[in-house]
Amino acid sequence: MTKESASTTRFGLIGTGRITRRLVADIQSTSGCEVTAVASRTMERAQWCASQYAIAEAVQGYENLLSRDDVDAVYLSLPPSLHRQWCVAAAEAGKSILCEKPLAMNSAEVAQINDACRQHGVRWLDATGWLHHPRTAAFADLIRGGRLGTVRHISVAISFFEPFQSGEHRLQRELGGGCVLDLGWYACGVARFAFGKPCRDVMATAVYRGDVPIRCTAVLRFDDDLSATISCGYDTATRKWFEIAGSDASLICDDFSRPWPDKPARCWIHDASGKVDQLDFEGHQEIRMIETLIGEDDLASLHAQAIDTQAMVDAINRSLETSSAQEPTSCI
């Protein structure tokens, strides 16, 4: 069946890792979507994944999935260093793309992905789920509608205490490891989203394991005297909160990257009088993200968000490279 004669978007999965195994259920639950094939580096792994999730076709080799006629879109969840190569190949094969975050290793790679998709008329999204939760649009209304007064400063913290096993890509620099690409992506994204503009400059410091940053702290400055501080890492317990501080009130969310499924609402407005309003939102961010990819809405603002976020991550990485050469101010 060709795509033209079908009302269904047929997804192929590239990679069979932890997040794929969660997203597959979300794709299968999204109206108008099905998962027709899964590709792995090994046939054994592809067959295991296919049988586990009732996927019709197991494919060895990612390129063999891209040449299939029964695949209209791909969900790509590989280590970051492989995102550019397979996004560009997917674009050349005419497949819509949902690519895991971070979109790429750096802004030059993002530009290659964006150019390839534009050239081949392919829709793409980075799989930054929180941007698609209905509460994110409500946050934007609160910020732009003036409920917080003038927004001036943002704090973001995102971390988890490492459950790493041997071979973990997050600890391998050449695969795009380290908390800056992995988690700084989310934190930078909050600041970009809330201020609605690119960052001007950053100062960052990190703690390393081997050659990858495992805890990073950064100060980000934007035009008009706006600022943000971010903290991300693998050696503190789970944190996924932000505070968006305005002249009249602060918006706080302590599960922004993905709401806890089994916990009460965790968003509040704290105002200057000490009053606290709790905000309650329903919605499934991953399903809305998939609906956005397969829909027809213009994706330009989401692309700008991803492009600016990658530029911020790049700047943090550059700052880390040069910070050892700078003399910090002594406390003594």
Ligand X SMILES: NC(=O)C1=CN([C@@H]2O[C@H](COP(=O)(O)OP(=O)(O)OC[C@H]3O[C@@H](n4cnc5c(N)ncnc54)[C@H](OP(=O)(O)O)[C@@H]3O)[C@@H](O)[C@H]2O)C=CC1
Ligand Y SMILES: O=C1CO[C@H](CO)[C@@H](O)[C@@H]1O
CB of 80 to ligand X, least distance (A): 5
Q: Name which of 26 and 72 has its Cβ closer to ligand Y.
A: 26
CB of 308 to ligand Y, least distance (A): 18
Q: Name which of 33 and 158 has its Cβ closer to ligand X.
A: 158
Q: Name which of 101 and 288 has its Cβ closer to ligand Y.
A: 101
Q: Name which of 15 and 233 has its Cβ closer to ligand X.
A: 15
Provide the β-strand partners of residue 136.
Answer: none
Provide the β-strand partners of residue 10.
Answer: 34
CB of 157 to ligand X, least distance (A): 16
Question: What is the full DSSP assignment across 128-186?
Answer: -GGGGSHHHHHHHHHHHTTTTSSEEEEEEEEE------TT-GGG-GGGT-SHIIIIIHH
Interface with ligand Y (CB under 6 A): 101, 160, 182
Interface with ligand X (CB under 6 A): 15-19, 40-41, 45, 77-80, 82, 100-101, 127, 129, 169, 175, 182
Determine the Cα angle at 25 with ends 20 and 27, to 5°.
85
Provide the β-strand partners of residue 34.
Answer: 10
CB of 99 to ligand Y, least distance (A): 12
Q: Name which of 107 and 159 has its Cβ closer to ligand Y.
A: 159
CA 180 – CA 216 distance, rounded (Å): 7
CB of 19 to ligand Y, least distance (A): 7
Nearest to 160 by CA among 186, 129, 192, 191: 186
* Binding at 160: pick from ligand Y, ligand X, none (beta carbon under 5-8 Å per type): ligand Y
CB of 84 to ligand Y, least distance (A): 18
CA 106 – CA 307 distance, rounded (Å): 10
Enumerate residues 6+ apart whose C-beta is below 8 A from 85: none
* Binding at 15: pick from ligand Y, ligand X, none (beta carbon under 5-8 Å per type): ligand X
Enumerate residues 6+ apart whose C-beta is below 8 A from 159: 179, 183, 215, 231, 232, 233, 234, 235, 236, 237, 238, 239
Q: Name which of 169 and 270 has its Cβ closer to ligand X.
A: 169
Q: Name which of 50 and 78 has its Cβ closer to ligand X.
A: 78
The continuous run of DSSP H or E covering 13 comes out as strand 9-14
Nearest to 23 by CA among 289, 234, 282, 255: 289
CB of 227 to ligand X, least distance (A): 27
Using an 8 Å Cβ cutoff, are 315 and 106 in contact?
no
CB of 75 to ligand Y, least distance (A): 14
Q: Name which of 83 and 101 has its Cβ closer to ligand Y.
A: 101
Measured CA distances, 195 to 138, 205, 238, 244, 298 (Å): 15, 23, 25, 10, 21
